[in-house]
Structure 1
């Protein structure tokens, strides 16, 4: 994989990671109720779930593409449809995350072990994570005689996704534990972040449909 492609991937993942979604809301909620340690542990739990998703996608999707390279085009088209769906739903839902955060704050404080397990299960139970991986990762795959094996590329991209996501979610959890109520008042910030990520989803969908790299 080229340096340019890796940098583009890292930038895209960072933009997507900083946008509040279900995983980040869970992390932030636990940070607000349990403090900085709970926020960080929740982020680790989410990342553990992503490890499982990464392995499943890398070995399953990688094996299919290796035996039938044309499948990659089908995956890209299906991914574009799913990303477009995410763009529309994310834009429409912008600004509605505040009530979810407040509801999470109202829950009783959990043990760190329970926070970790619940975070992992929350991530694993979300089928949209695998669908998102199938939609997002293939557009950063390279082809040709000098390209890495597809499985190796997916594992590398997945590892990068997890590392960046953990850094962002962990920071959000720690920050939430520090700022607490002050963070909940930043509803307008979450609304605009939602709209930014909706635009990113839409751009990625167009990228897949056009077949550019």
Structure 2
């Protein structure tokens, strides 16, 4: 694997990362609903999920999962159920905020640790990521020199670094904008509802997408 291959892959990874997708929408939802730190932590959680996918692919387990349709179907269903749970949680948060407004109370935010775990699990439960790794990364493998597993690890690391830069920026910006609006409780309620709508839409998309 030479430098030109890495540069070409890095450029391709940047283009892919800039295209809005489920992961980016998930990050935006957390940034909008919980602020800058939550948006950035969600991005880190997504990257952690990609790191697991990279190791699985390098170890050959990605192909094994692809050969087991029942496992992929189970992941797809689990991911959809998890996103529905997030949508319901965000909607309940908006209702709790509405009740708290009467007493000038503050609804306790979701912990950053929980946000990180949720983001990582959401990425891991998406079978499309496995398919993407198996279809995209092999196009940049070269014969001779490094073994295939090492090339998978390097390419995965590049993809994660580029994606984290893009997603982290998106999470920070969306969170910063929401924090400017959160000074008004009514706006916070609607931001939570927007987050709920995004999570619900992602769940519907995951269920409707064919493999």
Measured against the shorter chain, the TM-score band is 0.5 to 0.7
Q: Distance in 2 between matches of 1:13 and 1:51?
A: 15
Partners in 2 of 1:62 and 1:119 — Cα distance? 20
The equivalent of 1:98 in structure 2 is none
- The structural deviation recorded for 1:16 is 0.4
1:133 equivalenced with 2:133 (yes/no):
yes
Structure possessing the higher radius of gyration over alpha carbons: 2
* Counterpart position of 1:49: 49
State whether residues 62 and 134 of structure 2, in contact with CA within 8 Å, keep that contact through their aligned partners in structure 1: no
Runs (4 or more) in structure 1 with deviation over 6 Å come to 61-64, 102-105
| Structure 1 residue 122: Cα displacement | 0.2
- Any residues of structure 2 matched to 1:21-100 within 5 Å, and which? 21-60=21-60
What are structure 1's unaligned runs of at least 5 residues? Answer: 65-101, 185-213
RMSD: 2.7
What CA distance in whole angstroms lies between the structure 1 residues aligned with 2:113 and 2:89? 18
Q: Are the structure 2 counterparts of residues 103 and 164 from structure 1 closer, same or farther at C-alpha, using a change threshold of 3 Å?
A: farther
Q: Taking structure 1 as the reference length, what is the TM-score of the superposition?
A: 0.62
Give 3-state SS (helix, strand or coil) of 1:17's partner.
helix
Q: Find the counterpart in structure 2 of residue 120 from structure 1.
A: 120
Q: Distance in 1 between matches of 2:142 and 2:8?
A: 13
Contact 1:32 1:180 in 2 (8 A): yes
Contact residue 26 and residue 104 of structure 1 kept, 8 A: no
Aligned to 1:198: none
Aligned to 1:76: none
CA–CA distance in structure 1, aligned partners of residues 160 and 92 of structure 2: 27
Instruction: Give 1:180 deviation, angstroms.
Output: 3.1
2:155 corresponds to which residue?
157
